[in-house]
Structure 1
């Protein structure tokens, strides 16, 4: 199971990022646990200055803007 955190304030892009990750995971048959992190101090602790940020298994893989579907597929491979 992939442990994924979406870092952000809960804006539309953050919500869309969560939906995209869940959809790609379902399409690929990959089990994921997606958590929303909205605490600004926690987001800064990851070194993310632009949201949404995405952390997969403890590693920051994306920051700022919507991730592309092919990138999400790479994260879940």
Structure 2
């Protein structure tokens, strides 16, 4: 299973699968390329295993480029990216079992279908999961509120949960 690295896109912390490996691999071929070429290739490779909302691709790319530059000791200004997007913070709670992974994949699939930008993180640490007070996994947390526990919701139910929460966050 690939490692998840947290990055900041604006004021949101987002988990990215396989970022460290991608940055290391790109360092071998793109270290002397332009920022735009590196950014485009980072987005291309990272989007294969991660959801990147279309309206956040630019900010996401800049955040990835910053990580790339830091990893390879390239001087750059700190990017304190800000975005006007007000999107939900989604957390899948579970130790990494097949059901938990299924829920995470389903969340990303539904987000793509409804074109909703969101911060998605899969929390596998038992102590951190316990802080949410859930007695079963997988569990789904949207904006710090536990909304589902103990099974993977149907696609229709998950879509309703995400759309409901999205409309609440845009008051």
Q: Please report the TM-score for the alignment, with normalisation by the length of structure 1.
A: 0.93
Q: How much has 1:16 moved relative to structure 2? A: 0.6
More helix by share: 2
* Whole-angstrom CA distance in 2 between matches of 1:30 and 1:21: 11
CA contact (8 A) 1:8 1:37 kept: yes
CA distance in 1, matches of 2:156, 2:112: 14
Answer yes or no: is the 8 Å Cα contact 1:54–1:63 preserved in 2: yes
- Between structure 1 and structure 2, the one with the greater Rg is 2
Flag structure 2 segments of 5+ consecutive residues without an equivalent: 1-86, 164-171
Partner of 1:55: 141
Q: Secondary structure at the match of 1:21?
A: helix
State the Cα RMSD in Å: 0.9
Partner deviation per Cα, 1:24-43 (whole Å, 9 max, x = no partner): 11001111211011111111
Q: How many residues align?
A: 77
Q: Secondary structure at the match of 1:4?
A: strand
Alignment match, 2:111: 25
